[in-house]
């Protein structure tokens, strides 16, 4: 339904515009890649049914650790040497080598946003916050959970801070974080203290935490021109919803909202039938939909594939709980994460 009933019509609109207005390849190729990923996920969907949660954890858990550690190492290294370590095709795009400071990553006071394995702090923040509930689901070590949150804070991005707060609130509402645990509130207080300590280093006050102009992005509203089928050009800037409305018109905009929100709506509608992992994926999708109102970085390579992966997690077993063919993740992968509710595989 999500692929062929919602994303496919959007793909047809993109194709029509590309042919009708002779658009450059850079305008339509990102959408072609997205739809290609959708087809791949749809094709391998039956195989996803047989992948156990513990196997998913073993596959992606080391990636979280490397990304967090690499980002923190480079953040400290830049403070000390004004240089970072760049490995072409691994931690930085080949065209971005030596260009990290030209990507709007510098802040006042000589601080640079934590970027890790991408060239932009906002993109790193959007991706990591989108994955936060999944990381906290798999990671039981307090030190690594604290380092993960610290890495997001050190993006020095108000968008990342907002989305992390939104994800925390949604996790609490979903029952994935126990608010009656002292350790949870100690962690929140520590994060706030780190944030407050960073503000004067950037030349900011607490008033800078809320920017009603969205760092100048509200100018998009002034340039908004709505037509039924949208503008000739397809442009999705930081404020994703503006770009969808401008590019696809009212009809395409509504269709886009249904396409983006289908997985979350499915998960909420069948919430009690979902296991903890799939509930975490619902929270992650909702957190990204929230950040799209500020800086969704939708067409940057890491972002939307992660979003599609989370949708696949939500829907990979429909709404009927599959038989639990494995042991508790605490026995197969590690101890239960303090502050989180008990986890059982589905």
Quick one: pLDDT at residue 222?
63
d(CA 284, CA 280): 6
Please determine, for residue 322, whether its predicted confidence score (pLDDT) is greater than 70. no
Please determine, for residue 67, whether its predicted confidence score (pLDDT) is greater than 80. yes
**342 vs 244, residue with greater confidence:** 244
DSSP-assigned states of every residue in 166-229 = HHHHHHHHTTSS-TT-HHHHHHHHHHHHHHHHHHHHTT--GGGG--TTTTTTTHHHHT----TT
**Residue (of 138, 145, 147, 127) closest to 60 by Cα position:** 138
* Residue 39: pLDDT band with limits 50, 70, 90: confident
**329 vs 310, residue with greater confidence:** 310
Q: What mean pLDDT is predicted for residues 2-19?
A: 81
Sign of the alpha-carbon dihedral angle for 75, 145, 211, 122: positive
**54 vs 308, residue with greater confidence:** 308
Give the percent of the chain with pLDDT over 90: 13
Between CA 280 and CA 287, with CA 286 as vertex, the angle to 5 degrees is 90
What is the end-to-end Cα distance of the chain in Å, rounded? 23
* Residue 261: pLDDT band with limits 50, 70, 90: very high
Which tokens belong to 237? 């800037």
Give the mean pLDDT of the chain.
80
pTM for the full model? 0.81
Please determine, for residue 55, whether its predicted confidence score (pLDDT) is greater than 90. no
Please determine, for residue 73, whether its predicted confidence score (pLDDT) is greater than 90. yes
Quick one: pLDDT at residue 336?
43
d(CA 163, CA 262): 20
Least confident of 32-36, 312-316, 336-340: 336-340
Tens-digit pLDDT profile for residues 196-255? 888 888 877 766 676 666 665 666 666 677 777 788 888 888 888 888 888 888 988 999
d(CA 220, CA 236): 11
Tens-digit pLDDT profile for residues 277-318? 888 999 999 989 988 888 888 888 788 888 888 888 887 764
**293 vs 325, residue with greater confidence:** 293
Least confident of 71-85, 208-222, 315-329: 315-329
Please determine, for residue 22, whether its predicted confidence score (pLDDT) is greater than 60. yes
Domain chopping of the chain, boundaries: 1-50+217-317, 53-205
């Amino acid at each position: 339904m999500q692929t062929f009933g919602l994303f496919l019509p959007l793909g047809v609109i993109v194709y029509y515009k590309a042919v009708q207005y002779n658009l450059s390849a850079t305008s339509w190729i990102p959408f072609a890649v997205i739809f290609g990923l959708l087809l791949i996920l749809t094709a391998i969907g039956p195989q996803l049914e047989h992948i156990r949660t513990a196997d998913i954890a073993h596959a992606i858990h080391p990636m979280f650790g490397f990304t967090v550690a690499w980002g923190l190492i480079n953040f400290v290294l830049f403070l000390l040497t004004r240089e970072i370590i760049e490995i072409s095709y691994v931690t930085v795009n080949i065209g971005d080598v030596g260009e990290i400071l030209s990507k709007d990553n510098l802040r006042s006071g000589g601080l640079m946003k934590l970027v890790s394995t991408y060239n932009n702090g906002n993109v790193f923040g959007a991706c990591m916050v989108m994955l936060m509930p999944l990381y906290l689901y798999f990671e039981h070590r307090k030190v690594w959970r604290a380092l993960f949150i610290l890495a997001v804070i050190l993006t020095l991005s108000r968008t990342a801070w907002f989305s992390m707060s939104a994800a925390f609130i949604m996790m609490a509402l979903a029952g994935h974080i126990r608010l009656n645990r002292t350790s949870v509130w100690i962690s929140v207080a520590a994060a706030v203290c780190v944030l407050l300590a960073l503000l004067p280093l950037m030349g900011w006050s607490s008033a800078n935490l809320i920017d009603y102009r969205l760092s100048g992005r509200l100018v998009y509203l002034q340039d908004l021109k709505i037509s039924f089928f949208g503008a000739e050009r397809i442009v999705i800037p930081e404020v994703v919803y503006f770009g969808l409305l401008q590019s696809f018109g009212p009809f395409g905009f509504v269709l886009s909202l249904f396409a983006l929100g289908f997985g979350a709506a499915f998960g909420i509608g069948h919430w009690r039938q979902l296991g903890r992992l799939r509930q975490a994926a619902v929270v992650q999708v909702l957190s990204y939909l929230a950040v799209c109102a500020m800086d969704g970085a939708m067409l940057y390579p890491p972002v939307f594939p992660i979003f599609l992966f989370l949708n696949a997690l939500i829907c990979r077993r429909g709404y009927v709980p599959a038989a639990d063919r494995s042991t508790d993740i605490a026995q197969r992968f590690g101890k239960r994460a303090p502050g989180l509710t008990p986890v059982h595989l589905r």
